[in-house]
Amino acid sequence: MASMDGAAVNAGTRRFFYGWYIVGVGFLANLASVFSLASTLSVFLKPLTADLGVSRGVFSLLRSGEGLIAAAMAPFIGTQVDRHGGRWMIALGAIVVAMGYLLLSQVETFWQFVLVRWTLVTMGDALMGQMVINVAIAHWFLRRRGRAFALSSMGVGFAKVCIPIVAASLILWLGWRQTWALFGLVTIALVVGPALFFVRRSPEEMGLHPDGVLTPVAPPTVNAARHEKASAASPAEDDVVWTRREAARTGAFWLLVMIFGVSSMGVTGLNLHVFAYVSDLGHSDVVAGTVMSVIASMQLASPLAWGFLAERMSLPLVVMSKFVVQGAGLALAISTGNLFFLYGGFLLYGIGLGGGMVLPEILWANYFGRKSLGKVRGLGLLLTHGLAAVGPPFFGFLFDLTRTYGLSFAIFVAALIGSGGMSIFLRPPQKSVLDARDRVSE
């Protein structure tokens, strides 16, 4: 039976599709966004807690606050990117977050550090962050979303490979303050110009069609009677507009929130504490940095493979596989202090984590379409970010109580297994006929 990919090819494609410029900007913005992530902050954890006089548990509350603020902003930002596109939002976000990094180099107390992170850094990162980037990319791709999201998300993996070692080296040479200042300058250089010059809202406003086809190919209608593989791997009717209320009345919405919200609690906690965990085992800071680079190298190498799998196989099966690989790797890494198993386990964990850069975005875009993805995704992020905010202080305060990360990491393994089990129940939502009062504009 001929596939829809074949139909798209038969329709003809341009030699180079402008949408790949949007993906390129997404790569750069994702790269710059790593400066604010927990994996980078973890390298600063020991010198900052020593310099500013706070415990690891209290320091971990910083990430929880950032997660909650980002969660509160997500619905508003999602609505704005639906209405106006991502061009100015990405550029403005880069400028704001860079100002925050420059101010971090000047703080003298922990509360000042928290204030700058919770205002300029968090708000700027939300404006140029993954949701805005991926909504912008989703407008340009239907059948090739898997590879487009994967290539953009590889900016995170590329940065995470380099930044732990680079940041640790810069802290030794320049100190943590000047390292933040340098991050600010690099952010402006990487993001502002490309966003303003290249980002456009949709292919239609340039006389193009999604995926670069010369004639539009209608996406398939989601039909429960079709076999599971086809319906799970294909975009839904892309012109369908969902309100937040309609999306929230579907089981698919809440299942996506639970699957990725539960697992993200562990991801945010581990990202902040993994550097300290490895060094607490008695390994050097260089080894701790290279462990983080091993994780990141898999986040760089694996998304494209996950993206291609998602385009060709049942999404629930692919998502479940991602959690199985991630959970098995983490279980192996914490089973012994042996360096071989530590590296091997975190390598597998990183492969699974790379799937998390791509698969949620494909699911949200395929299940709820281009027209209202921002507002629906924003509502989802409000909930998943809220859950993720629990992770860092949970890991930190449990460490303060037990003086070990073993228990919190074991709980994370259980959460990954639970998310994998829930994944097999994923199905595309069916939009029901609602009363007129439920169709109000949001």
Tens of pLDDT, residue by residue over 86-139, are 899 999 999 999 999 999 989 888 889 999 999 999 999 989 988 899 888 988
Q: DSSP letter string over 256-281?
A: HHHHHHHHHHHHHHHHHHHHHHHHHT
- Name 112's Cβ contacts closer than 8 Å, sequence gap at least 6: none
Angle between helix axes 285-301 and 303-312 (nearest 10 degrees) is 30
Kindly report the three-state secondary structure assignment for every residue of 21-45.
HHHHHHHHHHHHHHHHCHHHHHHHH
Convert the pLDDT of each residue in 167-198 to its tens digit.
888 888 988 889 999 999 999 999 999 999 99
Q: DSSP letter string over 141-206?
A: -STTHHHHHHHHHHHHHHHHHHHHHHHHHHHHHH-HHHHHHHHHHHHHHHHHHHHHHH--S-SGGG
What pLDDT sits at residue 1? 37
**Stronger pLDDT, 347 or 52, i.e. the higher one:** 347
Question: Torsion angle, CA of 436/438/440/442, rounded to 10 degrees?
Answer: -160
Helix (H, G, I), strand (E, B) or coil at 249: coil
The full set of domain ranges for the chain reads 14-215+228-429
In whole angstroms, what is the distance from residue 346 CA to residue 320 CA? Answer: 18
Report whether pLDDT(439) > 60. no
Report whether pLDDT(214) > 50. yes
What's the whole-number average pLDDT of the chain?
Answer: 83
Convert the pLDDT of each residue in 316-327 to its tens digit.
999 999 999 999
At 250, the pLDDT band (50, 70, 90 cuts) reads very high
CA-wise closest residue to 409 among 292, 329, 302, 300 = 329
Report whether pLDDT(216) > 80. no
In whole angstroms, what is the distance from residue 98 CA to residue 409 CA? Answer: 33
What pLDDT sits at residue 11? 45
Most confident of the ranges 73-77, 238-242, 274-278, 344-348: 344-348
Structure tokens at 60: 């971990």
What pLDDT sits at residue 419? 93
In whole angstroms, what is the distance from residue 421 CA to residue 426 CA? Answer: 10
Q: Which helix (H) or strand (E) holds 396?
A: helix 391-402
Report whether pLDDT(306) > 50. yes
Q: Which amino acid is at 200?
A: R
Q: Which helix (H) or strand (E) holds 311?
A: helix 303-312
* CB of 332 closer than 8 Å to CB of 344: yes
What pLDDT sits at residue 26? 93
Does the 14-215+228-429 domain belong in CATH 1.20.1250.20? yes
* CB of 41 closer than 8 Å to CB of 61: no
What pLDDT sits at residue 224? 38
- CB burial of 53-83 (b: ≥16 within 10 Å; e: otherwise) equals ebebbbbbbbbbbbbbbbbebbbebbbbbbe
User: How long is the chain?
Assistant: 442
Report whether pLDDT(159) > 70. yes
